Amino acid sequence: MEHMCNVNAALGGGHKTASDKESGRVVVYDWVRLLAMIYVVIGHSAYTSIQSAFGSIVYNLPPDINSVYDSIVLSFLRRLPDWIYSFHMPLFFCLSGAVLALKPVGQFDVFVKSKCRRLLYPYFICSWLFVVPVKYISGFYNKDNVFAAMQGLLSGQEGSHLWFLPALFWCMVCFVILQKILYVKAKVHSEYFLLLSAGMIQLLYLYLPFDVLVLKQGIGYIFWFALGYVFECERRRHRQWNIRTTATVFVLLTVIEILNWRHGILNSFFMIVCGSFHTYLLADICSRVFKNVEKNKGWQFVISNLFYVYLFHDPLEYVVLRIFMSGNWLSSSFGCYAYTFSRTVLIFLISILSGGMVKWIKEKLNYFLNGVSSHSERGRRKSVI
């Protein structure tokens, strides 16, 4: 069954971009993904100590730290995560809900299998083969707790930054079940009733008597996922704002967020709404300023590998911390700048390039295996004949 918003769009309601017409891909959402991933990297670049159920690191700033560390620019970058953390996880769930609304879900079992491959497989494979080993090398785990941490991944107790993947899986599955109950069983074809129902579930999820692989955390974001879904439905029904209106609202939200930064005028709900919509408007402005950027090969490479930035970047933060703290780099101005650059830009670039390398290896491996398989099958057929 097709989503109601897709039906409305097909009937001629709403504005479509060229990318919508060609493949169902919306360029502005690629910009949102890029901005959100930059936020995540910056958000994870400020800590010097962190603890989980099975490991921890604690680094104290050296007494002879250079004054550049407290400069306006570097101090601002270290304070920026406070703003980012106020909305960035709901933003990711909103974005996922919006993307889900771009095309029909299809058969439920096929949908679940595809999300297992997309979310759960990377969670386990990357956690066991990359996250845990790198964090062990960097000193986060030791020989006494590293195997317990690997076991903790099965229950979600030690999901580190990758907890989002199984949480998103459960959120998507529960949302689709809810949607099918309302649309198919109850014949209630209303996205706003769907949003209201998701909100009620989010209010009551803590009463769930069990938890499996961060199931509760996933359901705890289902309202924001549904909000993103409804946002995409409404986006398709209405004309796109002109650039003047978009810029005006963007500036207005910027002022509101600055006032909130200084005076705390917003509660947590409106901080999420303002931060998420502010990011979307910035993405919309970028998509108009950089027209036809989706045809650029560099852009395509970056966008296609953003998922790997999420997978790889956080463990690399521990490596950078160990190198710079053990080497006392922060005693010089160059070291302070290099430290900040490494924890943001360099880690982002390394993760992007690593993603490209992983995809290249996977393609070569698939080609080799498929080639060997095809060759063996042809040989078997000849021997039979």
DSSP 177-206: HHHHIIIIIS----HHHHHHHHHHHHHHGG
Instruction: Kindly tell me if the per-residue pLDDT of 372 is higher than 70.
Output: no
Query: Which of 343, 295, 327, 294 shows the shortest CA–CA distance to 80?
Result: 343
> How does pLDDT run across 47-94, given as a tens digit for each residue?
999 888 888 899 999 899 999 999 999 999 999 999 999 999 999 999
DSSP code at position 322: H
- Backbone φ and ψ for 49, nearest 5 degrees, come out as -145, 145
| Mean pLDDT for the stretch of residues 244-255 | 96
> How does pLDDT run across 257-289, given as a tens digit for each residue?
999 999 999 999 999 999 999 999 999 999 999
Contact in structure between 137 and 319 (CB atoms under 8 Å): yes
* Tally of CB atoms within 10 A around 9: 22
Confidence at residue 360, expressed as pLDDT on a 0 to 100 scale: 92
DSSP 228-273: HHHHHHHHHHSPPPPHHHHHHHHHHHHHHHHHHHHH--S-HHHHHH
In sequence order, what are the residues at sequence separation of 6 or more whose Cβ sits closer than 8 angstroms to the Cβ of residue 161? 44, 131, 310, 314
Confidence at residue 153, expressed as pLDDT on a 0 to 100 scale: 83
End-to-end CA distance of the chain: 46
- Lowest mean pLDDT, pick from 102-111, 329-338, 362-371: 362-371
> How does pLDDT run across 191-206, given as a tens digit for each residue?
999 999 999 999 999 8
* Tally of CB atoms within 10 A around 156: 21
Calculate the CA 261 to chain-centre distance: 24
- Lowest mean pLDDT, pick from 18-32, 265-279, 320-334: 18-32
**Mean pLDDT score of the chain, rounded to an integer?**
88
Instruction: Kindly tell me if the per-residue pLDDT of 216 is higher than 50.
Output: yes
**Rounded CA gap, 284 and 270, in Å?**
21
DSSP 26-45: -HHHHHHHHHHHHHHHHHTT
Instruction: Kindly tell me if the per-residue pLDDT of 375 is higher than 90.
Output: no
pTM greater than 0.75 (yes/no): yes
Domain count, the chain: 1
Contact in structure between 352 and 301 (CB atoms under 8 Å): yes
> How does pLDDT run across 288-318, given as a tens digit for each residue?
999 889 899 999 999 999 999 999 999 999 9
Instruction: Kindly tell me if the per-residue pLDDT of 22 is higher than 50.
Output: no
Contact in structure between 183 and 1 (CB atoms under 8 Å): yes
| Mean pLDDT for the stretch of residues 342-351 | 97
| Mean pLDDT for the stretch of residues 14-24 | 44
With vertex at residue 320, the alpha carbon angle to CA 75 and CA 140, rounded to the nearest 5 degrees, is 110
Query: Which of 102, 104, 77, 114 shows the shortest CA–CA distance to 336?
Result: 77
Helix (H, G, I), strand (E, B) or coil at 385: coil
What percentage of the chain exceeds 70 in pLDDT?
Answer: 90
Q: Identify the residue whose tokens are 């967020």.
A: 257
Cα distances (Å, whole numbers) of residue 307 to 86, 283, 303, 329, 359: 22, 18, 8, 31, 11
Confidence at residue 23, expressed as pLDDT on a 0 to 100 scale: 46
Instruction: Kindly tell me if the per-residue pLDDT of 10 is higher than 60.
Output: no
The pLDDT confidence band at residue 353, using thresholds 50, 70 and 90, is: very high
The pLDDT confidence band at residue 371, using thresholds 50, 70 and 90, is: low
Whole-number CA gyration radius for the chain: 23
The pLDDT confidence band at residue 4, using thresholds 50, 70 and 90, is: very low
| Mean pLDDT for the stretch of residues 128-156 | 89
**Per residue in 215-238, is it b (16+ CB within 10 Å) or e — as a string?**
bbbbbbbbbbbbbbbbbbbebbee
Strands (E), the chain: 49-51, 56-58
Residues forming beta bridges with residue 49, ordered by sequence position: 58
The answer to whether the Cα torsion of 7, 28, 202, 160 is positive or negative is positive
The pLDDT confidence band at residue 330, using thresholds 50, 70 and 90, is: very high
The pLDDT confidence band at residue 24, using thresholds 50, 70 and 90, is: low
Instruction: Provide the domain limits for residue 109.
Output: 4-384
Confidence at residue 6, expressed as pLDDT on a 0 to 100 scale: 44
| Mean pLDDT for the stretch of residues 355-376 | 79
Side-chain half-sphere CA neighbours of 101 within 13 A = 29
